[in-house]
Amino acid sequence: MWSNVHSDAHGPLISEVEARDIRCGRNVKIIRPVNLYGCTIGDDCFIGPFVEIQKDVTIGSRTRIQSHSFVCELVTIGDDCVVAHGVMFINDLFAIGGPAKGQRDLWKSTFVGNHVSIGSNATILPVRICDGVVIGAGSVVTKDISKPGIYAGNPARFLRAL
């Protein structure tokens, strides 16, 4: 629900959105404050405080999104995943030398498989990540991951099988 708190010629317009147009499965726990809109959240999920999940995002069942994470449009996260604190998903690669400024056709999608754990403060660019992957804290995933295992670094590299 949008609420305009303040608006005049001398001050900013402050708007709040908590959760609107979301589809939730059973037993979903959401801790406020959050900014969720136009997304789908599966059964038995947990969404921590200070999380933003934008439209056209799908979160699978039994997945946890910890505090201060940002899941932008065009992201799909599978079942039984953990997105730790402060994880950022990116859909705009600045293909035109700067932000796409709403030119959605320039944005790219991200797919995260099932049983994937993403460590705190990782950044996930538009990639495909297969099932059974652990991404180390602070890693930057710049390329598709098609082999299960542990990945870490900037850019993230395969370290070992699980």
Distance of alpha carbon 151 from alpha carbon 124, whole angstroms = 12
Domain count, the chain: 1
Label the pairing between strands 3-4 and 15-16.
antiparallel
The pTM (predicted TM-score) of the whole model is 0.91
Residue 135 lies in a domain: yes
Q: Say which CATH number the domain at 112 has.
A: 2.160.10.10
Asked if the structure places residue 3 within a domain, the reply is: no
Boundaries of domain holding 116: 15-160
Q: Give domain status of residue 146, yes or no.
A: yes
End-to-end CA distance of the chain: 44
Residues with a known catalytic role: 85
Question: 35-92, pLDDT tens digit by residue?
Answer: 999 999 999 999 999 999 999 999 999 999 999 999 999 999 999 999 999 999 999 9
